[in-house]
């Protein structure tokens, strides 16, 4: 079971960076998908409860406490987060920290600056992330609400995507095969070769399922 955090998604101990310098300029995000209006599933409610039990800023807690996140709330929180970071680089046009909307409804970020700029970014970014995005909790729960309101394991979402694309047989392809194929694709020495099917997650369609589950 893996979490979809602000910058990283991992399966079988293999990390895939989603927001590592994917954009070097600010991009106005398009309208984000709207979370389902259906009853919140027990799994999603449980994730809200877990995040609300954490050490959150008043701003982040205010977004999560009603146990729903709208696209406008998410985009506003993300914009405040970027403004918080960019305020430490006055006069930079365009600002060094930019955004790029992703196919899964989340927003990736990229930083463009010197080595010294990056050192400053590393010092100040965590406080901005905690204040406005709840250390990634807001994006994680928002992603769940639009992509996985039933609270299915992330591995199952990837498999469902692979099945939909006709890349695997739903009757024979499960989590063990998924983890083995991901491990082999990304040269994980702990991958169980006996379970691998030969599906290469470096190919575009499979990689898209791995990254965006669609």
**101 with 72, same domain?**
yes
**27 with 117, same domain?**
yes
**87 with 108, same domain?**
yes
Cα four-point dihedral sign 47, 84, 126, 182? positive
User: Which of 129, 147, 165 is the last residue before a domain boundary?
Assistant: 147
pLDDT at position 40 is 63
156-183 in b/e form (b: 16+ CB < 10 A) is bbbbebbeeeebbeeeebebebbbbbbb
**170 with 202, same domain?**
yes
pLDDT at position 179 is 95
Does the residue 8 lie in any domain?
no
Q: What's the domain count of the chain?
A: 2
pLDDT at position 139 is 92
**167 with 187, same domain?**
yes
**Cβ atoms 136, 5 nearer than 8 A:** yes
- Residue carrying the six token digits 């639009």: 146
User: Which of 93, 126, 147 is the last residue before a domain boundary?
Assistant: 147
SS (H, E, C) 107-148: EEEEECCCHHHHHHHHHHHHHHHHHHHHHHHHHHHHHHHHHC
Token representation of residue 109: 């970020």
Does the residue 130 lie in any domain?
yes
By three-state DSSP, how is residue 100 classified? strand
Does the residue 1 lie in any domain?
no
**138 with 167, same domain?**
no
User: Which of 116, 147, 178 is the last residue before a domain boundary?
Assistant: 147
**Cβ atoms 32, 71 nearer than 8 A:** yes
Helix (H) or strand (E) holding 43: helix 42-52
pLDDT at position 150 is 79
**127 with 193, same domain?**
no
Does the residue 53 lie in any domain?
yes
Task: Estimate the crossing angle of helix 137-147 against helix 71-86, to 10 degrees.
Answer: 150
pLDDT in tens, the chain (214 residues): 333 433 333 222 222 222 322 232 233 333 444 444 344 677 788 889 999 999 999 999 999 999 989 999 999 999 999 999 999 999 999 999 999 998 878 899 999 999 999 999 999 999 999 999 999 999 989 988 888 887 788 899 999 999 999 999 999 999 999 999 999 999 999 999 999 999 999 999 999 999 878 7
**30 with 57, same domain?**
yes
Domain span at residue 81 reads 22-147
- The distance from CA 101 to its chain's CA centroid, rounded to whole angstroms, is 11
């Amino acid at each position: 079971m893996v979490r979809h955090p602000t910058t990283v998604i991992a399966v079988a101990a293999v990390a895939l960076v989603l927001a590592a310098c994917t954009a070097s300029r600010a991009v106005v995000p398009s309208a984000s998908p709207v979370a389902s209006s259906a009853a919140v599933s027990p799994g999603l409610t449980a994730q809200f409860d877990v995040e609300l039990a954490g050490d959150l800023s008043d701003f982040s807690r205010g977004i999560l406490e009603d146990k729903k996140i709208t696209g406008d709330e998410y985009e506003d929180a993300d914009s405040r987060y970027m403004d918080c970071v960019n305020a430490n680089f006055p006069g930079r046009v365009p600002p060094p920290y930019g955004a790029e909307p992703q196919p899964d409804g989340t927003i990736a970020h990229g930083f463009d600056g010197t080595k010294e700029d990056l050192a400053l970014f590393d010092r100040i970014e965590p406080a901005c992330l905690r204040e406005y995005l709840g250390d990634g909790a807001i994006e994680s729960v928002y992603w769940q609400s639009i992509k996985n309101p039933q609270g299915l394991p992330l591995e199952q979402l990837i498999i469902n995507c692979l099945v939909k694309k006709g890349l695997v047989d739903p009757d024979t392809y499960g989590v063990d095969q998924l983890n083995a194929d991901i491990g082999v694709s990304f040269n994980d020495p702990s991958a169980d070769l006996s379970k691998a099917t030969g599906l290469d997650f470096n190919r575009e369609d499979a990689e898209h399922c791995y990254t965006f589950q669609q």
